[in-house]
Structures are given as structure tokens and as C-alpha cells.
Amino acid sequence: MKASAPEFRIQADWVLQTQLRYPDLLFTIAPAGFIMSAGQAMKMVRLGYRSGTPDVLVFEPRGIYHGLLIEFKAPGGTISPAQREFVRLADVRGYKTAFCFSTAQGNMVLEKYLTHGSPVDL
């Protein structure tokens, strides 16, 4: 993976905790951040991968939202223009989105989303 070690650890810890707390939650990750050849990267794009796709995609509708998209960042990490644009486009299509800089923040976002499912500030 090309993602920073802290970012990898934050997301991996979140996935483990989420699987333990919500074993039936339907979610997956976006296949970004992996080191691959140019040919493999081209295949991903041809198969529909879009730059800026958030790290985690939760397919659980709640309230007015179709699902939850989370982008994990290491503390102090930067959000790319492609990530900001993807999130903006997802927001206007009815998805709740969040940038999380810690496992705890990711846990809080998911808990609030699953519990409230309304346009509360996550």
C-alpha cells in the first residue's frame, strides 16, 4: 500500500472494530492506495475506478441518506482536490460523507450515522 502507515493503521483498526461491533454491516473499501503497475492502474480506471473515491463505502441507508462514505487520513493529512470533489458530488446525490483523522473519529461517525441517520453534523 502506498498510504502512510498511520493512515493504514487507522483504517485497519476501524475495519476490525466495525466487523466486531456490526458483523452484518454491509461495507467495503475502495481499491485505492495500493502500489501497482501502470497497466494495473489503467485496468482499474477502465473498470470504473474514479480518483478521489473515499476509502470506505457503507451500503446502509439511514434517514435521508443512501449510504455513508468515509475517507481516512493520518492526523494532519491533506485532502486532495479529487477527494473533495468526489465527496461534494456524493453529498448532492444523497450520501453522507466524512473525513476521519482517527479510528475513534471513524467509530463516532459510524455510530452517529447508524443511530441518527439524519442530517446531524458528523
Tell whether the model's pLDDT for residue 2 goes beyond 80: no
- Residues 106/14, Cβ–Cβ less than 8 Å: yes
- Residues 17/107, Cβ–Cβ less than 8 Å: yes
- Higher-confidence position of 92 and 118: 92
| Mean pLDDT on 86-90 | 97
- Residues 94/69, Cβ–Cβ less than 8 Å: no
pLDDT tens-digit series, residues 9-67: 999 999 999 999 999 999 999 987 777 888 988 888 888 888 999 999 999 999 999 99
- Residues 25/60, Cβ–Cβ less than 8 Å: yes
Contacts of 93 (CB under 8 A, 6+ apart): 66
- SS3 of 49, please? coil
Tell whether the model's pLDDT for residue 120 goes beyond 60: no
Phi, psi dihedral angles at 65 (to 5 degrees): -100, 145
Domain 5-116 maps to which CATH number in 3.30.390.50, 3.40.1350.10, 3.40.50.720, 3.90.700.10?
A: 3.40.1350.10
Domain spans in the chain, listed from the N-terminal domain onward: 5-116
pLDDT given for residue 3 in this prediction: 54
pTM: 0.88
Tell whether the model's pLDDT for residue 1 goes beyond 50: no
